[in-house]
Chain A
Amino acid sequence: MGQGPRLLIFSIERDDYAISTDRLVEITVSGLVLNDETLTANFEGKMEFRERILPVLNLKKVFKVQGKPGKVLLVLKTAKGEVGLLVDAVTEFLDTEKLIRPIPQGVMNPTLPYFVGILKHKGSILLLLNEDGLL
């Protein structure tokens, strides 16, 4: 067991990402998502989840990646309430002591809040999401 954060690794269009499990409520299959024009463009809509209404964010829209919305739903607690994230697949849980490094300089506008940093795992580079920055 590592002493660092426990991470969930998931993929979007064959690129791997990680998110801390601290705020993870549930991993499930996406149900019927209804359009809601009161939500911003990055949301796919809202769905009923455990007798409450959950806004569902399409990470492909957030990241401007082509492709159909993922079918796997990650339910997260964020500073603004519970939200669902649509991703393509969940790969594994990772108990990590690995070094989380900042995104290298010059890659993106440093004021963008979407990523906490990067880490290496099994020969790949994972981008670690900032769940509060997604909303």
Chain B
Amino acid sequence: MTAGYLVFLLSGWLFGVPLGGALEIIPRRRSRRVPLAYSYVQGLIDYRGTIYPVFNLAQRLSLKVRDRIGFSAEEEQGGPEESMLLLEVSKNPFAIEVDRVSRMTKFDALAPSPAEAAGVDVQYIKGLAYEQNDEIIILDFERLFFHGS
């Protein structure tokens, strides 16, 4: 079944989020610090009346930064750099900071994830998609940020 995804770049890796869970792309903004929060929580923002926790996805995934050798033309002309994505899973709104929003696209099916991709634990990966010689990692945000909370 074909599904739409928003693809973004973070630390040199491409990730995808289902369009149904993507609320808005906004410029990065300062968040309000929360003492004693989880280490990957940057803070809270108030955007149009909704409070969003801001998660540092790179830290949560312990991402190793990699240099991408060349961007596709679409990525070069893609969305604004250093954006904030407002997302929602299971009625929990949240925000993540990304290096660049790359594109919207559709995938017919996801490939099963290997033991790890980008050094990310397989339990946080829903699957992989391939497009234009790019490997795109589809994350399980519920498990990443809300599992057990």
Contact = CB atoms under 8 A, between A and B. Distances in A.
Interface residues of A, number: 22
A103 interface: yes
B interface SS class: strand
A63 B35 CA distance: 5
Interface residues on B, range: 20 to 34
A62 B37 CA distance: 12
Interface string A69-104: 000000000000000000000000000000001011
Tell me which of A105, A106, A114, A120 has the highest count of chain B C-beta atoms within 10 A of its own C-beta.
Answer: A106
Contact of A125 (B32, B38, B145, B146): B32
Contacts of A104: 44, 51-53, 92-94
Contact of A65 (B35, B52, B53, B94): B35
Contacts of A64: 35-36
B149 interface: yes
A110 interface: yes
Given A118-B51, A125-B44, A105 B33 contact: no
A106 B90 CA distance: 12
Nearest to A123: B46
Interface of B: 32-38, 41, 44-46, 51-53, 55, 92-94, 145-146, 149
Interface of A: 15, 62-65, 101, 103-110, 112, 114, 118, 120, 123-125, 127
